[in-house]
A and B are shown apart, each in its own frame.
Chain A
Amino acid sequence: MFETLGERLNKALDGVRGSGNLTEDQVKKVTKEIRLALLEADVNFRVVKEFVANVRERATGAEVSKALSPGQQVVKIVNEELADLMGGTAHKLSYAKSGPTVVMLAGLNGHGKTTAAGKLALFTRKQGKNPYMIACDTYRPAAIEQLKQIGKELGVPVYEEGTDAKPEEIAERGIKAARDGGYDFVIVDTAGRQVVDLEMMDEIKRVREAARPHSVMLVLDVVTGQNAVEVAEAFREYADYDGIILTKLDGDARGGAALSVVKVTERPIRFASEGEKMSEFDYFYPDRMAGRILGMGDVLTLIEKA
């Protein structure tokens, strides 16, 4: 059921070995397999189309080095293109020059916002910041209690006004409280929502306008499928995020959605969340993602050495 790309390439190119230039036929066979691998990794089908066309163009007639088989040569090209698309280097956090840095989190239901709020708080504290969290999810049962328990575990204060106040007002008053309390990093947790729910989408816009955050992060579950592009575009319109936190990377999802979203929205993935423990959080390193999407870390190390 789950054949790796490496295995499939070997099959496709059975018997084809040696140097020279890649023939059109060889490239065709290999790109077909790569197209399949990308689709199985949940890369958006439109992105796949464009991507494969690029690869085909680059690979046709390309010179095959002695160290690599024609299949590996194409994979090398694919890998380079993928890494390029993902944005090259890690995007580090920048802090406000004066006053607290405010970061707002937004995303679909259950993708990991509240957990990421706690993780980000711990992460910034390790960088010498004094974090503060604001509970703006007034909908999900016990959402405030969840953030409070996380805050208690970390020793990070949580501002809340229960479930009756308006999220945008909670955000505004919370930020003032943070400023008055001398906190210099503020994280605004918001409710999960679906992009077709325009009332809720308008709400996230209002929260953003009230909080005037230095940064907005879209929190996205790495298992997300073809739908990711549409979700990312809608959130860009309403929440105007500048970066993405990719969650649940501790599983075995290939995460092609991440690639599609970066390609379409031109927003970088900034953080990787990989576990339920608060410490399992780091900057995102784009180069590590290409091998994961292709499902062939082993093959890639081999190719990188060549």
Chain B
Amino acid sequence: KRSRESVVGQLNAAVAEFRDADDEEFWERVEEVLIASDVGVPTTAKLVGQLEQEALERNLTSGKELRELLIEKATGMLEGPVELDISHEPTVILMVGVNGTGKTTTIGKLARFLPVERVMFAAGDTFRAAAIEQLQTWGERTGTPVIARQRGADSAAVAHEAVEAARQSGTEVLLIDTAGRLHTKSNLMAELEKVRRVIGRQLPGAPHEVLLSIDATTGQNGLRQAKMFKDTAGVTGVVLTKLDGTAKGGIALAIRNEVDLPIKLISVGEKVEDLHPFDARQFAEALFGDL
């Protein structure tokens, strides 16, 4: 909250100072606000460039108009499809991302979030200590069956078994957890490709969604994460997590702009109800918000 206030405070001051669109100092301060939210230099430059030009063209003179234009531009940049494709029988959703970003928690919440009755979890993280038990706890919490093997088992084999079980049981959506992995580790990224391959062979078109969890506190490295996971894991959408903290998740803007992946969901806490569809306008307003 404090950080939001301070950033908003800055922009507020900037907007109050706004005299006319070619006030250079003013633009520098808008730039600063964006950088402070992790939007990153290239995307900030683009946004400010667009804003500046349009402010001049439209001869905007009030801070209020400018603020609205800024929110409008950011919204435009952030917009994208948010629906999850769950039209298959069964639909298979694979959760991927770097370590500790919120994959397992998001899967737990999705059981409640998705508008279906029969959900199943697969404990595809066979690596991290108690990753299986963690998912099983979420299974108990949400009344979801969990397919699991012992720690150290082959992740692709767990996924294979789960797809089979999902088919047999008339499960509507199967959610597969995977171990956290840094995008720079090629052997681990290859393992993910194997999981994809195995379930794709078993069920053509699967996985139908590959969701990448990105922690909102992430700085510019989020761009690399998004790019690498998109290229090697076929990511279809991003889940932005831990937005209940002080980070504003400006990296989402950079990802939208530079990597072209839609943001589909946001996570705002550790409880089962803390998952929501991404709303571009709301997000933009929160970024430069209640000015």
Contact = CB atoms under 8 A, between A and B. Distances in A.
Contacts of B242: 108-110, 194
B16 interface: no
Contacts of B245: 108, 194-196, 227, 231
Contact of B3 (A2, A39, A110, A227): A227
Name which of B127, B185, B250, B270 has the most chain A CB atoms within 10 A of its CB: B270
Nearest to B221: A253
Interface residues of B, number: 52
B224 A141 contact: no
Contacts of A251: 98, 182-184, 221
Contacts of A39: 35, 40-41
Contacts of A197: 244
Contacts of A253: 219, 221
Interface residues of A, number: 49
B31 to A, nearest CB: 9
B239 to A, nearest CB: 13
B270 A139 contact: yes
A258 to B, nearest CB: 11
Name which of A40, A142, A148 has the most chain B CB atoms within 10 A of its CB: A142
Chain A facing B: main interface SS: loop
A252 B100 CA distance: 16
A297 interface: no
B230 to A, nearest CB: 13
B62 interface: no
B130 A42 contact: no
A72 interface: no
Contact of A225 (B101, B185, B217): B217
Given A45-B35, A110-B100, A248 B246 contact: no
Given A223-B221, A226-B219, 14 more contacts: A1-B227, A141-B133, A146-B129, A196-B2, A196-B245, A221-B215, A223-B218, A223-B222, A225-B220, A227-B245, A248-B99, A251-B183, A252-B183, A254-B220
29 contacts: A1-B223, A39-B40, A40-B40, A42-B219, A45-B32, A45-B36, A108-B217, A108-B242, A141-B133, A141-B134, A141-B138, A142-B131, A142-B136, A143-B130, A145-B129, A196-B246, A197-B244, A223-B218, A225-B247, A226-B37, A227-B3, A227-B248, A228-B219, A230-B2, A231-B246, A234-B246, A250-B182, A251-B183, A252-B182
